[in-house]
């Protein structure tokens, strides 16, 4: 079983969306988790943007990095520079990818404009996860 970990600063938006999308897109024999270097709680707009495409992450919890799981992963994906820079050391056998995506929680403006940012980041994550299907 392949193990993948999506990491972000607070495990509230990008990494949560990545976990939900990966569970839908990637093979069922993959173990998929997300976490943060801090715990910020689940962002309701992330939940809303995922629900729009039929993925329910409303019961997810914001979690801190589990070092034991991290050390066993085949792939670690950081979704922001902070997570990349603060991620604990992993064995050389763990492949790392960095997807420097903007934090939709930092979006400003009308609710419509903010949700556009969440959808844009969600769609970028979905595209990148689709490319992982053939990860070896």
Total number of domains in the chain: 1
Higher-pLDDT residue of 91, 70: 70
> pLDDT by residue (tens digit) across 29-66?
999 999 998 998 999 999 999 999 999 999 999 999 99
pTM for the whole structure:
0.93
Instruction: Choose, from 7, 57, 65, 87, the residue flagged as catalytic.
Output: 87
- Residue 8 falls in the annotated catalytic set: yes
For residue 73, the enclosing domain spans: 2-134
Has residue 134 got a pLDDT over 80?
no
**pLDDT value for 136:** 61
> pLDDT by residue (tens digit) across 89-107?
788 889 999 999 999 999 9
Host H or E run for residue 5: strand 3-8
Instruction: Choose, from 7, 8, 37, 76, the residue flagged as catalytic.
Output: 8
Instruction: Choose, from 17, 21, 70, 80, the residue flagged as catalytic.
Output: 80
- Residue 73 falls in the annotated catalytic set: no
- Residue 87 falls in the annotated catalytic set: yes
Strand runs labelled E in 92-131: 95-98
CA distances from 98 to 47, 83, 101 (A): 23, 9, 9
**pLDDT value for 117:** 97
**pLDDT value for 83:** 76
**pLDDT value for 48:** 98
CATH number at residue 74: 3.40.50.2300
């Amino acid at each position: 079983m392949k193990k993948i970990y999506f990491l972000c600063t607070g495990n509230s938006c990008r990494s949560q969306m990545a976990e939900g999308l990966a569970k839908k897109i990637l093979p069922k024999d993959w173990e998929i988790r997300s976490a943060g270097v801090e715990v910020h709680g689940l962002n309701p707009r992330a939940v809303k943007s995922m629900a729009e495409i039929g993925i329910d992450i409303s019961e997810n919890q914001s979690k801190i990095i589990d070092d034991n799981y991290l050390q066993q992963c085949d792939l670690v994906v950081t979704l922001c520079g902070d997570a990349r820079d603060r991620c604990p050391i992993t064995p050389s056998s763990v492949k790392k990818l960095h997807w420097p995506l903007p934090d939709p929680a930092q979006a400003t403006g009308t609710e419509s404009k903010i949700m556009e940012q969440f959808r844009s980041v969600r769609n970028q994550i979905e595209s990148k996860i689709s490319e992982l299907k053939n990860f070896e």
